[in-house]
């Protein structure tokens, strides 16, 4: 009988499997020290609806040891509405371990499973290894090798890849967590004002419909596209563009304040695109057709956050992701064009989805990180933007 070889979901599971197979206990701890670990909890307990249940170990059938289970990112249990996942780390477990005779079971039942002793001396060793481990770097491209890598769902998830890079989560995961249950609920409520399924649904539909984009910006961009379509010289000069927008508004009997606001918008777009040229995001002479990409990327992130916070079902989240991908393909011609639209939208709407919007230093830092994600996603051979055709 032929058995397909096991594909480790991430490098962590591969390291754990190899270390356990070779009896390399130091290798086990080295992998766990840099891994994000997750513990499962009843949703009612996490929501404070019932008192926390005492931790109860299970007897591991392979080792016979009494163990508490934890999971790495690539080996999380399937999504359930009544069970949630909370993030921890080996150092936190070392400081909060409940019983000296219990063992730590990592990914029970998974090919990367490991059972680690947790005596006081062992836990001191955990802390030493964690102290020596390199810090987790932000701005990395992370993938689940067992997640969607091709097809419409992968394309939709790849539209949210810049935010996944920013947040340090795998770009192609649609499952039990984004970061973890508690943190994802805080982000949804504090950043997006979403606290229930109805609010989640309303916001995702608005973003998918383009309501997240500024109307003045989209009007100005459409006006420029109209001018370019009637000109043999391509994109109009900024002065010509401003004059045309003013003429259209005057023809519509717009008041002076509205005309001034649109004129300011055109100037801001032109300045932002010049910055994108300096950032090597836009080629000289190229232009952005829409900022809808920013809302579509946010919709993908909200689908993942809502699924983690149990505000939607997996089917609901998948529909949002697929719709985001379809809308992006209709609006843009390529991944670079989508990314330029996302960056322009983020630039013209500083603080969109960012609770630090009042700090200008955070805005600059956020733009720099977004530009870095753009170049990473277009340059890394493992990037979805290099491996998933646009159309």
Alpha-carbon distance 161 to 322, whole Å? 14
User: What are the tens digits of pLDDT across the range 333-386?
Assistant: 999 999 999 999 999 875 443 433 444 445 567 889 999 999 999 999 999 999
| Measured distance CA(225)–CA(238) in Å, rounded | 13
| Residue 83 banded pLDDT, cuts 50, 70, 90 | very high
Give me the pLDDT at residue 99, please. 92
Query: What's the pLDDT at 352?
Result: 41
Least confident of 61-75, 104-118, 265-279, 354-368: 354-368
In this structure, the dihedral spanned by the alpha carbons of residues 326, 327, 329 and 331, taken in order and rounded to 10 degrees, is: 170
Return the pLDDT at 262: 85
Distance CA 266, CA 220 (A): 6
The answer to whether 216 and 261 have CB atoms below 8 angstroms apart is yes
pLDDT for 357: 41
Length of the chain: 391
The 8-class DSSP code of residue 37 comes to: E
Q: What is the CB neighbour count within 10 angstroms for residue 316? A: 17
Which residues, in sequence order, are CB contacts of 131 under 8 Å at separation 6+? none
Q: What is the pLDDT of residue 247?
A: 82
Continuous segment of H or E residues that includes residue 38: strand 37-42
Read off the pLDDT of residues 283-316 as tens digits, 9 standing for 90 and up: 988 899 999 999 999 999 999 999 999 999 999 9
Q: Phi/psi of residue 161, each to 5°?
A: -60, -35
Percent of the chain with pLDDT strictly greater than 70: 93
């Amino acid at each position: 009988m032929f058995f397909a070889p096991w594909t480790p979901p991430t490098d962590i599971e591969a390291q754990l499997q190899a270390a356990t197979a070779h009896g390399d206990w130091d290798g086990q701890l080295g992998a766990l020290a840099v891994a994000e670990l997750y513990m499962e909890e009843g949703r009612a307990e996490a929501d404070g609806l019932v008192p926390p249940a005492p931790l109860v170990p299970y007897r591991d059938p392979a080792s016979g040891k009494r163990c508490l289970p934890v999971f790495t990112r690539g080996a999380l249990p399937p999504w359930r509405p009544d069970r949630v996942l909370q993030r921890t780390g080996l150092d936190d477990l070392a400081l909060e371990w409940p019983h000296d005779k219990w063992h730590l079971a990592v990914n029970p039942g998974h090919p990367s499973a490991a059972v680690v002793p947790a005596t006081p001396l062992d836990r001191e060793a955990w802390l030493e290894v964690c102290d020596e481990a390199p810090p987790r770097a932000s701005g990395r491209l992370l993938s689940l090798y067992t997640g969607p890598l091709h097809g419409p769902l992968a394309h939709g998830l790849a539209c949210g890849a810049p935010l996944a890079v920013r947040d340090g989560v795998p770009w192609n995961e649609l499952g039990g967590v984004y970061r973890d249950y508690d943190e994802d609920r805080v982000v949804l409520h504090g950043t997006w004002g979403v606290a229930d399924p109805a609010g989640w649904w309303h916001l995702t539909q608005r973003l998918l419909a383009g309501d997240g984009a500024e109307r003045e910006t989209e009007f100005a961009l459409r006006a420029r596209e109209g001018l370019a379509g009637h000109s043999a010289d391509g994109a109009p000069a900024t002065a010509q563009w401003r004059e045309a927008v003013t003429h259209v508004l005057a023809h519509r009997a717009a008041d002076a304040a509205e005309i001034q606001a649109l004129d300011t918008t055109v100037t801001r777009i032109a300045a932002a695109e010049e910055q994108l040229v300096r950032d090597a995001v836009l080629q000289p002479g190229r232009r952005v057709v829409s900022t809808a990409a920013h809302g579509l990327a946010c919709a993908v992130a909200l689908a993942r956050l809502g699924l983690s916070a149990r505000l939607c079902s997996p089917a609901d989240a998948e529909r949002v992701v697929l719709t985001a991908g379809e809308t992006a393909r209709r609006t843009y011609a390529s991944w670079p064009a989508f990314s330029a639209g996302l960056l322009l939208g983020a630039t013209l709407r500083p603080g969109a989805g960012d609770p630090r919007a009042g700090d200008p230093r955070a805005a600059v830092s956020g733009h720099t990180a977004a530009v870095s994600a753009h170049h990473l996603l277009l340059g890394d051979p493992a990037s979805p933007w290099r491996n998933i055709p646009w159309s």
